[in-house]
């Protein structure tokens, strides 16, 4: 988080600092703030004590214990430190902040300067920064929770994170609220649709935010309504999904299941790259939009079981909120690529 916090004397923290190979962490106690001067500006630097040693905020990263309760969370923070340092440098360069820096890696400095120069060139050309997503919060958030979530997701660079439990826990703690994982998934999907809807309008150099808002709202509404129709169809056909057979090669994205595809069902693909299903493969239609003819395909249950042997029996395969394999055909190509063995409606 690019956010300033003030500590209280004797407050316990976890400090993370560089060693020759990576980082280590230690429990520490905040002692006081030490005032330093940088280009005629005063700054308060926290001073910590651990194992009878002193370490300052310029020599380490610090995190509150409630934000790093488990070793898994600590490891995640350590993995994110290089990117966090880069982002902090980029912000300070963009806004010309004269602040203390704990970034010692020259490569991170070089990358931040190059990125900042690219951004400045784009701003000079367009009159705004197309990569700045903060307008979503101020222009499109419908209530306080939406605004907080949109900001939280932007600040933390979240795009459908895989770690929803920790993410939602951190959000609730930061904003003193109590949303569920399902609530967060819906908010994240809404924000993503806003961003995708406004993407081409913003990237074309159009500086009128009313145009951004119109494109974003139209895209979000279109895809939300289509998703609702497809969910309704899936619920009606649950347990009796219509079968189809591929007539031509059908595009396939293996996602995190590439190795299982190669190991368990190699004969279904045109080659070992697993990018296309062969003609003659039986599939299920697990979701369908009667209005725009968009459909979602999946393997038959026996084949799916080979890829996901531990999947619960009550899983709803038509809902994909995490990284998964995908079989996708454009509505205009379904008749050409598929033989429908049963009616969809």
- pLDDT tens-place string over residues 78-109: 888 888 888 888 888 887 887 778 888 889 89
CA distances from 99 to 47, 68, 96, 192, 325 (A): 17, 26, 9, 33, 45
- Residue 119 inside a domain? The answer is no
- Structural domain count, the chain: 3
**336 and 257 together in one domain:** yes
Q: Give me the sign of the Cα torsion angle 268, 273, 276, 279.
A: negative
Split at pLDDT 50, 70, 90, the class of 159 is: low
Q: What is the pLDDT of residue 21?
A: 63
Structural domain for 79, as ranges: 12-104
Region 123-150 average pLDDT: 90
Q: Above 60 in pLDDT, residue 3?
A: no
- Residue 29 inside a domain? The answer is yes
Helix (H) or strand (E) holding 36: strand 23-38
* Chain position carrying tokens 């990284």: 323
Q: What is the pLDDT of residue 2?
A: 45
In which order are the strands placed within the sheet that holds 338-340? 276-277, 250-253, 326-327, 295-299, 282-288, 243-246, 338-340
Which of 200, 235, 270 terminates a domain? The answer is: 235
Split at pLDDT 50, 70, 90, the class of 161 is: low
**147 and 216 together in one domain:** yes
- Residue 3 inside a domain? The answer is no
- Residue 1 inside a domain? The answer is no
Q: Above 80 in pLDDT, residue 229?
A: yes
Helix (H) or strand (E) holding 133: none
* % pLDDT > 70, the chain: 96
Q: Above 80 in pLDDT, residue 197?
A: yes
Q: Above 70 in pLDDT, residue 1?
A: no
**86 and 33 together in one domain:** yes
Q: Which of 251, 243, 253, 232 is nearest to 299 (CA)?
A: 243
**194 and 208 together in one domain:** yes
Q: For 67, phi and psi rounded to 5 degrees?
A: -95, 0
- Residue 5 inside a domain? The answer is no
Average pLDDT, the chain: 88
Region 113-117 average pLDDT: 90
**229 and 242 together in one domain:** no
* Chain position carrying tokens 């994240």: 188
């Amino acid at each position: 988080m690019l956010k300033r916090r003030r500590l209280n004397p004797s407050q316990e923290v976890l400090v993370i600092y560089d060693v020759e190979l990576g980082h280590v962490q230690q429990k520490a106690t905040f002692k006081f703030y030490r005032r330093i001067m940088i280009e005629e500006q005063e700054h308060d630097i926290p001073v910590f004590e651990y194992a009878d040693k002193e370490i300052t905020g310029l020599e380490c990263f610090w995190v509150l214990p409630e934000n790093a309760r488990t070793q898994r969370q600590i490891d995640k923070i350590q993995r994110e430190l290089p990117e966090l340092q880069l982002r902090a440098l980029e912000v300070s360069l963009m806004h010309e902040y004269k602040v203390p820096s704990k970034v010692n890696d020259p490569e991170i400095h070089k990358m931040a300067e190059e990125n900042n120069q690219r951004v400045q060139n784009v701003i000079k050309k367009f009159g705004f920064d197309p990569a700045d997503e903060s307008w979503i919060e101020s222009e499109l958030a419908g209530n306080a929770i939406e605004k907080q979530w949109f900001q939280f997701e932007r600040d933390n660079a979240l795009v459908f994170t895989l770690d929803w439990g920790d993410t939602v826990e951190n959000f609730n703690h930061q904003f003193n609220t109590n949303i569920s994982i399902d609530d967060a998934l819906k908010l994240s999907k809404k924000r993503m649709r806003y961003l995708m809807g406004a993407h081409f309008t913003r990237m074309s150099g159009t500086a009128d935010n009313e145009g951004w808002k119109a494109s974003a709202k139209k895209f979000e509404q279109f895809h939300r309504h289509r998703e609702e129709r497809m969910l309704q169809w899936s619920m009606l056909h649950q347990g009796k999904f219509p079968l189809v057979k591929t007539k031509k090669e059908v595009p396939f994205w293996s996602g995190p299941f590439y190795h299982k595809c190669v190991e368990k069902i190699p004969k279904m693909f045109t080659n070992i790259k697993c990018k296309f299903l062969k003609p003659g493969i039986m599939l299920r239609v697990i979701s369908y939009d009667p209005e725009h003819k968009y459909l979602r395909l999946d393997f038959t249950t026996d084949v799916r079981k080979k890829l996901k042997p531990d999947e619960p029996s009550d899983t709803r395969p038509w809902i994909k909120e995490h990284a998964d394999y995908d079989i996708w055909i454009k509505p205009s190509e379904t008749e050409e690529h598929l033989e429908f063995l049963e009616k969809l409606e």
